[in-house]
Chain A
Amino acid sequence: MAERSFKKEVQELRIGEGEIFRGEGILAITKALLQSGVSYVGGYQGSPISHLMDVLADANELLDELDVHFESSASEASAAAMLSASVMYPLRGAVTWKSTAGTNVASDALTNLASGGVTGGTLIILGEDFGEGSSIPQERSHAFAMKSQMWLLDPRPNLESLVNTVEQGFELSEASNTPVMMQVRIRACHVHGEFVAKNNRSPAFKLRDALKTPRRDISRVVLPPASLAQDVEKLEERFPKAIQHIRDAKLNEFFGPKDAEVGIVVQGGLYNSLMRGLLYLGMADAYGETLVPIYVMNVTYPMIDDEVVAFCRDKRAVIMVEEGHPNYIEQSLISVLHRHDITTKVHGKDMLPMGGDYTAAVVEKGVRRFFEKHAVAMLGNHPPAPDPVPILTSKPVMKLAEVVPPRPAGFCTGCPERPIFAAMKLTEKDIGEHHVSGDIGCHIFANLPPFNVSGNTMGYGLSGAGASAFNVKSDKRTISVMGDGGFWHNGLTSSIGNAVFNEHDGVFVIVDNHYAAATGGQDILSSRADNPRRSTQHSIATAVKGMGVKWVRQIDRTYDVSKMRATLTEALTTKETGPKVIIASSECMLNKQRREKPQFRAAVKAGQRMVKERFGVDEDICTGDHACIRLSGCPSLSVKQTDDPLKDDPVAAIDNTCVGCGNCGEVSEAAVLCPSFYRADVIHNPTRWDRFIARFRNAVIGSLQNFADTNRVAFPD
């Protein structure tokens, strides 16, 4: 672990009946799990649900008190398989991951889980990384629910709804013997709000109870003929039970007047966007009172035919507000109405965009078209909707568009991955470009300027497999890059094992940051730190050797650019056959600084001798070519304008956020750039010897400098 503490958040999880919880959506969901009497929780970290994992990982005492088992799963597949505990036993279990990325990985287990069905409530919390800022392909989790017959909840994005939905999800799962997925969009995970808490609940039937009296039931195993019987059960028992429960428990909501000529059907998660859109159209106030009937689907799969029919029957037209594509719900809606001979006109993706975020502005436009077509009178004298277009098309703003630079996320100041890619770029200059196969993790930023190396990615831990087709005789090898997270998630078998077995001659760079850095510093098998609750310090080198790799190089200081470059060159040119694995290892600087900065300050305060390093640039020597920046991109290495009339271009400059990692010095040395970089070592609380030797040095150096200054002929300043 990156030694971050979530003790404060853990305290929040302890609050009891009637107290007000204030905080983030994902933490509210975590609290709701404990309120629901959950027996076990698992998952795989990733935005936007990392916080749930981090906080529970720090909540040992609380979880022990409540008899809840928490596991940081090795992958989403491991997490999904964990739900197996609820198949035979009345145990409530929850797992979480980033979707759809994680759901893809988990699908194998989910399919089996959904086929056999569950006894205890199982809830799969999907952190939906969709829309602006998303780091994964834009797909829908909806398809997974449909294909496996799991129920999909999409609650309204406020803390109260999120919390209630967790409890309701377990109930629905138990009532229908079916796993339930709860989809929470990225902004809802990070939304700050409040709800009235309940007491945490310890499960009545505990994991230990299950172990005492194991149950067996061949009808739950996916083995013919049970597998076919399970399919029949899905359709004839679980599905009707689910419909019944959803209706009885009123999981879906109706807002606005009962009677109107038109209506709106919306996914729960989009409710807030819709209401803001309606506010702009003058058809709702800010508190949710509305002039239009709205049917909110907090359950987006399955569709409740009766509710839909009742809502649409007497209306001339409805519009389905459904984010993402394909428009599964809209299609289903049309089909249901058609079956019931209802002629209500259904709109949806014909008026709203097929893809992208459904923001208030987007929904407002689509809904306005709907009203213009079917109920223009309702629009009345609404105020003009916000319209940025005149400003955006004005000349000064159009000109601005050419100036404002893109600013994607990139390597942090002092990131140990930066020198790896600087070395890779230098290697490229020496022996030519190579095909690079990328993975998931911070190293994917090497695709961006200034490095522009690294290639496409096929999934977590799959960079090696992504290069496997190039396993042909050639004088050029492939370079596959993966992080330690991806390595343990899937890479050891799918990439390294695959390469060993198929005798792939490629180069495999495993970036080891001492824990899963990109997702926030969670421990994994190769973490360097001791973790009282987890087994760490399993070496990646040993693992790949165990897999059968013969050529393994471990570099324990990635900042040694020259060594990194030499090792890469050797790997790309050695006569040895089979996979060449380079493990490039240095701790994630962001997390390291978080830990070490306070320690450093405390030590200085306590009077200990401490040396603080940072880098600088001699601006007289820098000629403003910025070659150093093109091999770095470090946030603290920037440029500054000078007052020197003989310098046209800005010179390089290092600001005081520099953490002294040494990359710029090493790079300028390895690439033979220029001598302007220096490292400054500031000795805090120097010892008497330090002071003595410094006095001696200053005396000698100072007198020479004095001599030079006195004899220098120069114009006065």
Chain B
Amino acid sequence: MKALIDHLPGRIHEKPISIAILAMGGQGGGVLADWIVSIAEAQGWAAQSTSVPGVAQRTGATIYYVEMMRPLDGKRPVFSLMPTPGDVDIVLAAEFMEAGRAILRGFVNPAQTVLIASSHRFYAVVEKQVPGNGVGDSMTVIEAAGIAARKIIAFDMQEVAERAGTVVSSALFGALCGAGVLPFGRDVFETAVRASGKGVDASLAAFAQAHDIARANPPAPDVKQGPEKRLPPLPVSAGHSQLDALLKRVRAEFPPHLHPMIYAGLRRLVDYQDPAYAQEYLDRLVSLHSHDRNAGGAAQTYSFTETAAKYLAIGMAYDDVLRVADLKTRASRFRRVKDEVGASASQILYTTEYMHPRMEEIVGFLPASLGSAIENRPRLFKALDRLVNRGRRVRTGTVLWFLSLYTLSRLRRLRRRSLRHGREMAHIAIWLDTALAHLPTDYPLAVEIVRSRRLIKGYSDTHSRGLSKFDQVLAQVPRIAGRPGAAGWLAFMNKAALGDEEGKALDGAIRSFDAEIEGGVRRPALSTP
């Protein structure tokens, strides 16, 4: 005890520097830990790293942990093998939600922790499997880090790494150096990278760039949200008489703040079919807008018309074989794929499309009379289905396959006579009539009915499933209508319908509504959104 007391008082609070690395398998977290250990050891410090790499798979979240301290009279410190919540000096997160996980694990505290995180997102399965939008909001991490961290350095290190042709660990190492939180110079860091011997140049390039960004110390963490929706203003002229006629009509018949959304609709429908089809769109929209005006929509900034402008365009530009053939054969699409896969001029690129047409789709684009004639003969239909219904690998880059798709895309002139078209238009009419029926009495409910259209998307089975959810939701409208917060209930159901594939969430939402009715005025705990 004497020995300790002799030299303890000055040192009792001395602790190793502790660094936790949160990464996913395959992000180079282990290499990063090794680099950090090697810079400490190169400077005569003792250092230790640990991890629980588990099995070989590469997708799970993993924590690597490093401690380092100067030896005392040749004696190595006793290092901890796990980070202690509330006592980690530096947290390196290789992805932004992993930074969030570090905070949740208690590794980030305002007294000591410098949080260095790549702000890019790598979505987890539970985020991306949702039929709607299940993506977590990065801002919640920023807000939590705001109170949890002493200092936060966050920027897209994945992008830095990718540009240099390496993985995010090199950029994190650069940011760690640039943050100036370790008592070692840049040359020591770079020597460690060089000594590792693999992909050194790329690693050093990413290191240098991340170092400079971290050193410049961006005041606010740079977090990427999704791109802004592109809603350009209505142009004065499009240089084509039919298009200009459309523009003129929009200007004349709708208030200016609705123009961008209507213009988006016009663009889609002209691209999808032709200017005449866009005129038809405007015809419907004008009628909807007059109802909107009569229902006192001015006070609601005509949100009914605006919502209808969006979903009517989506509804009229339904996805069919002709559309797919059109999009797949465009020159712009060929260029985009070339960019995406990064094929150079000296390389040759071919694409193979994975298609699976069924008789339903074929019948859909036949003229209505012929189509329904086949449909009404189940045995014929089945026999034909056996012929067409199989997976097809379409090699769009070869002449014959291209010609087939190209010809199909030129057939879009006949689209408006097809069986499918008639059905889609009838469906649109029922949907909009339902909305209009409620417009005079419950404006927000009518808007929400229009929004339910969002549930219909996809092809084949996906499309049928969406349609059935849409029907299920709309079937609730008569029950909901007339109750306080009806629009809220419908919005709640719309959201639930996009929560999972099987429709469990939607069933749950409907059950909560049942409970609401049975329980009289009492509102369920989950309430409406």
Contact = CB atoms under 8 A, between A and B. Distances in A.
Contacts of A701: 334, 397, 399, 402
B288 to A, nearest CB: 17
Given A291-B4, A360-B82, A410 B57 contact: yes
B104 A404 contact: yes
Interface stretch (B179-187, B270-278, B441-449): B270-278
B81 interface: yes
A548 interface: no
Given A409-B60, A412-B59, A675-B324, A399 B84 contact: no
Given A286-B77, A686-B348, A47 B55 contact: yes
Contact of B228 (A157, A445, A643): A643
A18 interface: no
Given A625-B131, A697-B397, A397 B148 contact: yes
Contacts of A254: none
Contacts of A133: 52, 54, 62
Given A614-B341, A668-B354, A713 B240 contact: yes
B172 interface: no
A391 B406 contact: no
B56 A521 contact: yes
Interface in B36-76: 37, 41, 47-62, 69, 72, 75-76
B158 to A, nearest CB: 10
A374 interface: no
Given A388-B109, A409-B60, A638-B122, A442 B81 contact: no
Given A192-B34, A273-B81, A409-B60, A669 B55 contact: no
A629 interface: yes
A333 to B, nearest CB: 24
- Name the residue in A157, A625, A708 with the highest tally of chain B Cβ atoms < 10 Å from its Cβ: A625
Contact of A678 (B126, B267, B314, B351): B351
Interface in B58-112: 58-62, 69, 72, 75-82, 84-87, 97-98, 100-101, 103-104, 106-110
A585 to B, nearest CB: 18
A430 B96 CA distance: 39
Contacts of B11: 285-286
B480 to A, nearest CB: 22
B58 A400 contact: no
B520 interface: no
A329 B133 CA distance: 53
A30 interface: no
Interface in A76-117: none
A403 B137 contact: yes
Interface string B205-248: 00000000000000000000111111100010011101100000
- Name the residue in A392, A646, A682 with the highest tally of chain B Cβ atoms < 10 Å from its Cβ: A646
Interface in B291-340: 310, 313-314, 317, 319, 323-324, 327-331, 333-334, 337, 340
Contacts of A264: none
A275 interface: yes
Interface residues of B, number: 157
A650 B15 contact: no
Interface stretch (A182-190, A456-464, A527-535): A182-190
B56 A386 contact: no
Contacts of B59: 407, 409-412, 635
Contacts of A700: 399, 402
B200 to A, nearest CB: 16
Contacts of A649: 131-133, 454, 457, 498
Contact of A715 (B33, B61, B270, B334): B270
A466 interface: no
B271 to A, nearest CB: 6
B265 interface: yes
Contacts of A399: 140, 143-144
B136 A387 contact: no
A669 B461 CA distance: 12
Interface in A606-638: 614, 616, 618, 620-621, 623-627, 629-630, 633, 635, 637-638
Interface string B125-158: 1111111110111001101101110000000000
B106 A678 contact: no
Interface string A363-390: 0000000000000000000010111100
B355 A669 contact: yes
Contact of A650 (B5, B226, B466): B226
B378 interface: no
Contacts of A642: 226-227
Given A626-B128, A650-B135, A674-B460, A400 B100 contact: yes
Interface in A44-88: 47
A624 B457 contact: yes
A432 interface: no
B60 A407 contact: yes
A686 to B, nearest CB: 5
A404 B226 CA distance: 18
B506 to A, nearest CB: 15
B377 interface: no
A678 B354 CA distance: 6
Nearest to B247: A715
B68 to A, nearest CB: 11
A193 B124 CA distance: 34
B1 interface: yes
A518 B54 CA distance: 10
- Name the residue in B5, B25, B352 with the highest tally of chain A Cβ atoms < 10 Å from its Cβ: B352
Given A396-B147, A399-B144, A519-B56, A645 B264 contact: yes
A240 B124 CA distance: 57
B270 A714 contact: yes
A650 B133 contact: yes
A442 B55 CA distance: 9
Contacts of A614: 341
B13 interface: yes
B349 to A, nearest CB: 5
- Name the residue in A185, A186, A400, A629 with the highest tally of chain B Cβ atoms < 10 Å from its Cβ: A400
B12 A282 contact: yes
A387 B3 CA distance: 30
A673 to B, nearest CB: 6
A449 interface: yes
A678 B352 contact: yes
Contacts of B72: 287
Contact of A646 (B61, B268, B409): B268
A164 interface: no
A461 B233 CA distance: 65
Contacts of A357: 82
A540 to B, nearest CB: 21
A285 B106 contact: no
A144 B132 CA distance: 52
A576 interface: no
Contacts of B76: 158, 287
Nearest 4 pairs of A and B residues by beta carbon: A641-B226, A388-B106, A386-B86, A409-B60
22 contacts: A132-B82, A284-B4, A285-B11, A285-B14, A387-B86, A391-B86, A397-B103, A399-B140, A400-B140, A400-B141, A404-B100, A449-B125, A521-B56, A621-B324, A623-B319, A626-B129, A639-B135, A656-B342, A675-B353, A683-B350, A697-B397, A715-B270
Interface of A: 22, 47, 132-133, 135, 157-158, 185-188, 190-193, 256-257, 260, 271-273, 275-276, 279-280, 282, 284-291, 357, 359-361, 383, 385-388, 391-392, 394, 396-397, 399-401, 403-413, 442, 445, 448-450, 517-521, 562, 590, 614, 616, 618, 620-621, 623-627, 629-630, 633, 635, 637-646, 648-650, 656, 665-666, 668-675, 677-684, 686, 690-691, 694, 696-697, 700-702, 704-706, 708-709, 713-716
Given A404-B104, A626-B128, A644-B229, 13 more contacts: A192-B48, A286-B16, A286-B77, A392-B104, A400-B100, A404-B141, A517-B56, A520-B56, A621-B327, A635-B122, A643-B227, A675-B328, A700-B399
